Structure 1
Amino acid sequence: MKADSQALKGHLDVLLLATLADGPQHGYAVKEALRDGSNGRFDLPTGTVYPALHRLEAAGLIAGSWSVVDGRRRRSYQLTAAGETKLAGERTNWREFAAAVTAMLEAKPWPATT
């Protein structure tokens, strides 16, 4: 089952930051890492990924640089110190949120019946 764009709303930026946590990647590799890391659930169009990368770069959370590979120019991105800090905070927030949701979903109905 693929996630739709509404399900990702509000989470795309942090997911992109997470794909860059292991080091720099060019834009298309970021898109592929997002797809592969989610077992195909987050297979987003480039028209969604690239604007998000540009937004993250404008916010100072990632830095981009141009290179030439096999005669083709491509832009690679890497986390900045601010991006690393943001990702760490978002990971903590996510764990707390997920734990609260899990507790609610797995809780016994109220009032408890005996």
Structure 2
Amino acid sequence: MNAQMKRGFLEVCVLASISRQDSYGYQIVKQVPRILQLTESTLYPLLKRLEAAGFLTVYSVEHNGRLRKYYHITDAGIQHINEFLREQNDIIAIYEYVKRGATS
């Protein structure tokens, strides 16, 4: 998958993963579709950007004697997912246009 396209999908997939339940880094990596090839080194800068944008909040919980950061989606994060979903028809129209051009 194209790197630019992947980056756009990663953001909403991470938010979608967190929208199901509060989560931590390793768990998010496991939940996001494999085709996106999300790694922890890619995830943490993305989580920081999403937090800075107000799409999620962070809190810590002790787990096995260590603090683990959990991420919680905000109303703005849910709104961002909904905006992405509203664009679905536009994205499908672009794919259909490209498909028609490629098969002509």
Q: What TM-score does the superposition give when structure 2 sets the normalisation length?
A: 0.83
Query: Cα RMSD over matched residues?
Result: 2.0
Report % sequence identity: 26
Within-5 A mapping of 1:37-52: 38=33, 40-52=34-46
What residue is the counterpart of 1:78 in the other structure?
72
Please give the alpha-carbon distance, in whole angstroms, between the structure 2 residues aligned to 1:106 and 1:23.
40
- In structure 2, distance between residues paired with 1:44 and 1:10: 12
Compute the TM-score of the two structures, normalised by the length of structure 1: 0.77
Residue in 2 that maps onto 1:112: none
Give the counterpart letter for 2:29 in structure 1.
Answer: K
Question: 1:1-114 maps to which residues of 2 (within 5 A)?
Answer: 3=1, 5-34=3-32, 38=33, 40-93=34-87, 95-104=88-97, 105-106=99-100, 109=104
- In structure 2, runs of 5+ residues without a counterpart are none
Structure 1: runs of 5+ lacking an equivalent: 110-114
Change (3 A) 1:71 1:4: farther
